[in-house]
Chains A and B, each alone.
Chain A
C-alpha cells in the first residue's frame, strides 16, 4: 500500500502546524466563528448536535495495522472510546474537544492519515472497491489510480472552491462494489483487446435529487485518465451552478446542460489539459503501482480448515473468493445484532489490527457498507482467525443479510438529520433475528438515512428507509427496488411514511409477503421485486388501504 514520501510528510506537518495556529487564534478570540468555520471544515472538523466531529479520510478504504492502531489511539485518548466508519470509507470521531484537535491531527500524521478535504466544496476522499487487489473477479487493482487521483486532488489550487463537493469512486471489477454510479465521477476499469481502459460515468449522486451516473465515455485509454478527470472537474467548476446549493452538484449541471454538450466541453478542455500534463501523471502512476504490488502470497499452505457448523456459517456468510486459490477475503461485520452499524471500539480496532498483522499481510479495508475487511487471509488460517474474532465478539455471520444494514449517524449525532437512523437499524437487526427470519430472508440490503442528504444510501437499498420530521414526529418513508451495484437503480417510494413504532411491523409484513411471493428459496428479495413489481409489496405495507379500496 502507499507509503508517504518525505514530501507528503512535510506537507502534512506544515498543514497541521497551520491549523494548530488557527485553532489557537480561535481560542484566544482573534478569529471569530465566521472566520474560523471554513478553516476547520477544510480540516474535517464539523460541529454536530452534541459536540465537534472530526472526519478522518481513509483513502480508498485501505489501512495498515499501524494506522488502525492510530485510529484506536484517537478513540481512546481523545474521544469516548469508539469511532464510526462511514459510507465514504472514512471514520468519524464524535466527541473531540477543539483544543485537542491539533494533537489528534499530529497523532494521525504519525501513521500517515489526515482529515484534509473531508469537508468543503472540494474533491473528497476517493473511494474504491473494498476488495481491491484481492477479488477473484477483478480486472485490475483500482487503488493505484485512486491514489493518483488523491494526490492530484489534494490541495489542488484550481479545485478548492468548486460549486459543491465532488466525489469520485473507482472499481476494478465488473461486479461494482464501490457504488460508482452514485458518484460525481464513477470509474470502472474495463479491458478491451487486452488493453486496460476506463468507463467513465458522470453525474451520479444520491441526496435530495438522486440520479444514476451516465456514461460519458465507454473506453478511455489510461494515458488520458487524469487529464480527462481534470477536464471534467474544470468544466464543472466553470459552469456548475453557484446560485443554488441544491442545484450545484454536477448531476444537475449534467441534467441541465445535456450529456452531449458536457462531453463536447470536456473533450475541448482535454486538449489543453493533456498537453499540460506532459506525461508526468503516467510516470507517477507507474511509481504508485509499485506501492501496490501484491503481497508475497504463501503458496504452500492450502490446507482447508476443519469446519465446525459455526465456522461453516461464518465462511458462507463472511468469506469471499480470492484471486489466489489459497487465500480468502474475510469481511468482519461491524453490525452485531443490537450494535450501532459501523461503530468500532478502540479495543476492537486494536484486535483487528493485530489480526491483520498476524494473519493478513498487515492490511485492512473499510467498506462503504461500514464493515472491516481482511483482504489477504490464507485459507489455512481461517479457523484460528475465526476463533480470535469470536473471542473479541467480532464473528457475527451476517454479511449481506437483513442485519448488515447501512445507517448514517442520523439525529443521534448529525446536525442535518431530520430523524434517527441508529435505533431503527438496531431494532430491525434484533427483531428479525428474534423472530427467526434472518436466515430465511437471506440476501437483502437495507439502507437507512436520517435525512434527504442520503448518507445512508437509502435510494440504492433493496429496501431504503428515509427518516423525516413530520410535524414534529419522526416518520420513516420506505423505498423499494433500489440497487447499489453495476445494475444500480434508484428505489421507488412505496407510499406514506410510518411512525417509528409502526415501521418494524410494516417491514415484517413486507418481508413475509416476499417469502410467499419468491420463486424458491434461492430467489433473493431484489429479484422477486423485479419480477413481481411494487404492487404486492405495497399491498403488504398498506393492508388497510387495500381493504378500503375493496370496500369502495
Chain B
C-alpha cells in the first residue's frame, strides 16, 4: 500500500539564516502553517527547482515529510519539528518570534 505523498518545501533565509517555508502566495514564509503541502512528486520537485534558482533569497532548500494537524501542516520528523520550534534550551528561534 503506497503512502500518500505529502511534502513541504523548506530552506533557510539567506540573510538571517531563519527557517522558512514555501507558501501558497509564492513567497517564503516564517510560519509552517503558511506552507504549501505538495501532494504529488512532480509539483514538489518543480517547486524545489524553483527554490534552487532563488539562491539570492534562500539557502539549502529541500523537501520534508509533512502531516496534517488541527492547526495545519506540520513536519513528520522530530528534526524538522525542532527546526520549526527552535532549540529546547532557550526560547530562541521560532519560539522567540512567536512570543514577539
Contacts and interface: CB of A to CB of B under 8 A. Distances in A.
Bound pair (A, B) = yes
A157 interface: no
B89 A412 contact: yes
Contacts of B59: 33, 47
B55 A51 contact: no
Contact of A413 (B15, B56, B87): B87
A47 B55 contact: no
A99 B15 contact: yes
Given A29-B56, A80-B92, A412 B87 contact: yes
A361 to B, nearest CB: 34
A98 B14 contact: yes
Contacts of B92: 50, 80, 94-95
Contacts of A29: 55-56
Given A97-B16, A422-B89, A49 B55 contact: no
12 contacts: A29-B55, A33-B14, A50-B19, A51-B12, A51-B16, A97-B16, A98-B15, A98-B17, A417-B79, A422-B87, A422-B89, A469-B79
Contacts of A50: 17-19, 83, 86-87, 92-94
Nearest to A341: B89
B77 interface: yes
B55 A32 contact: yes
A551 B32 CA distance: 51
Interface string B11-28: 010111111000000000
A472 B82 contact: no
A97 B60 contact: no
A103 to B, nearest CB: 14
B88 interface: yes
Contact of A426 (B16, B19, B89): B89
Contacts of B82: 49, 411-412, 420
A469 B78 CA distance: 9
A14 interface: no
> What are the 3 closest A-B residue pairs judged by CB atoms, nearest first?
A51-B17, A412-B87, A29-B56
Interface residues of B, number: 25
Nearest to B56: A29
Most buried by A among B17, B78, B93: B17
Interface of B is mostly: loop
Contacts of A474: 78
Interface in B48-100: 55-56, 59-60, 76-79, 82-83, 86-90, 92-94
Contact of A423 (B17, B56, B83, B88): B88
B98 to A, nearest CB: 13
B17 A47 contact: yes
A27 interface: yes
Contacts of A33: 14, 55, 59-60
Contacts of B87: 50, 94, 412-413, 422
Nearest to B60: A47
Nearest to A31: B55
A472 B81 CA distance: 11
Interface in A20-67: 26-27, 29, 32-33, 47-52
Contact of A411 (B19, B79, B90, B94): B79
A125 interface: no
Contacts of B19: 49-50
A340 interface: yes
A274 to B, nearest CB: 45
B100 to A, nearest CB: 13
A473 B77 CA distance: 8
Contacts of B90: 80, 82, 340
Nearest to B53: A32
Contact of A47 (B12, B77, B88): B12
Nearest to A417: B79
Interface in A376-426: 411-413, 417, 420, 422-423, 426
B16 A412 contact: no
Contacts of A417: 79
A50 B82 CA distance: 9
Contacts of A423: 88-89
A455 B80 CA distance: 22
B24 to A, nearest CB: 24
Given A82-B90, A97-B15, A469-B78, 8 more contacts: A50-B17, A50-B19, A50-B87, A340-B90, A343-B89, A411-B78, A472-B77, A472-B78
